[in-house]
A = this chain, B = another copy of it.
Amino acid sequence: MEGDKSSGAGAGGLVLLNCFVSPFGNRVRIALKRKGLAYEEKHENLAPKSPLLLSSNPVHAKVPVLLVGGSPVCESLVILEFVDEAFAGNGEPLLPAAPCARAHARFWASYVDSKLPECAVRVWRSPKGAAAVEEGRKDLVAVLKTLEAELGAKPYFAGDALGYVDVALVPFAPWFLTYERLGGFSVAGECPALAAWAERCVRENECVAKSLPEAEDVFQFVCGMRKMLGLD
C-alpha cells in the first residue's frame, strides 16, 4: 500500500493493474463497470512484473492494484469494498445495507477466497497424472457444491440481482473449462444450478459480460504456463 505516489498513474484518475485471466483482477473490472466509472487498465504479464506493480504492491507483488490518483489500493476484496464506499453515489451498492446481510455476504466472499483457488490450483498446476490432481478435483467439487447449496433457488447469491458474492465468484467461471479439461469432470454435471448461475451472470449483466475472458483463451493461457513449467 506504500507505492510510488508520484507515478504517472494520473491525478484523480483510476488505473487498474490487471492480468486478463486473473479472477481477482476481473472482480475489480466488474465493480468499476457496474459503477459506471472510467478507468485505464494496464496489463501485467506477471513475468517479469512491471516496476509499477512492484512499487504499488510491494507486500504481495500481485494484481490487482487499483491506483486512485496514484495511490494504490491492493487485494481484490478490499478494492471491491473501497469502490463500494468511495463511489457510493454511483448506482446500486455491491453490499447490502443491513449489518447482518453484509456479514453474510462477506462470509461467503471470504469462503471463496480461502477455499476455491487453493483447490483449483492443484487441478490446473499439478504435473499430469499426479495424485494431487484427483485430490484437488474432489476438494474443488466439494467447494462448488457448498457454494451451490448457498445459492439455493435464488437467481443470484445476493437474491434477485448481482451483488458482492456474485462479483467475487463469477470471474472464476471462465476457468471452469480449464478445471474440467484438466480435472476430468463437468461443472454443469456436478453443480447444474451453479453452472446456470454463471451463465445468468454473463447474460443479464453487461458489466460481467464485458469483464471476463473467453474460457478457451484461459485454457490456452494455462496450457502455455504448464508447458513453461514442464507439467505436461
Convert A104-121 into 0s and 1s, putting 1 for each residue whose CB lies closer than 8 angstroms to a CB of B: 101110110000000000
**Set of chain B residues within 8 Å of A68, measured between Cβ atoms:** 100
Which B residues touch A71, using CB under 8 A?
A: 100
Q: A108–B60 Cα gap in the complex (Å)?
A: 11
| Chain B residue nearest in CB terms to A83 | B99
- Interface residue range, chain A: 20 to 34
Interface residues of A (CB under 8 A from B): 1, 59, 68, 71, 73-75, 77-79, 81-82, 85-86, 99-100, 102-104, 106-108, 110-111, 146
Q: Considering the chains assembled together, what is the distance between the CA atoms of A150 and B73 in angstroms?
A: 15
8 Å CB contact of A111 from B59, B73, B104, B111 = B59
Residues in B whose Cβ lies below 8 Å from that of A73: 100, 103, 107
Question: Quick one: which of A68, A104, A111 has the most chain B CB within 10 A?
Answer: A104
Instruction: Please name all residues of chain B whose beta carbon is closer than 8 Å to the beta carbon of A86 when the two chains form the complex.
Output: 99-100
Q: Contact: B102 with A82, CB < 8 Å?
A: yes
Query: Within the complex, which residue of B59, B79, B102, B108 is in contact with A81, where a contact is CB–CB below 8 Å?
Result: B102
Complex Cα spacing A85 to B103, Å: 10
Give complex CA distance A146, B60 in Å.
11
Partner of A1, one of B75, B81, B107: B107
- For the complex, what is the distance from the CA of A81 to the CA of B108, rounded to whole Å? 14
Question: Once the chains bind, are A110 and B75 in contact (CB under 8 Å)?
Answer: yes
CB distance from A172 to the nearest CB of B (A): 18
Contact B59–A78 (Cβ < 8 Å): no
- In the complex, what residue of chain B is closest to A71 when comparing beta carbons? B100
Contacts A1-B103, A75-B106, A79-B103 aside, 18 further interface pairs with beta carbons under 8 A come to A1-B104, A1-B108, A59-B111, A59-B146, A68-B100, A71-B100, A73-B100, A73-B103, A75-B110, A77-B106, A78-B107, A78-B110, A81-B102, A82-B100, A82-B102, A85-B102, A86-B99, A86-B100
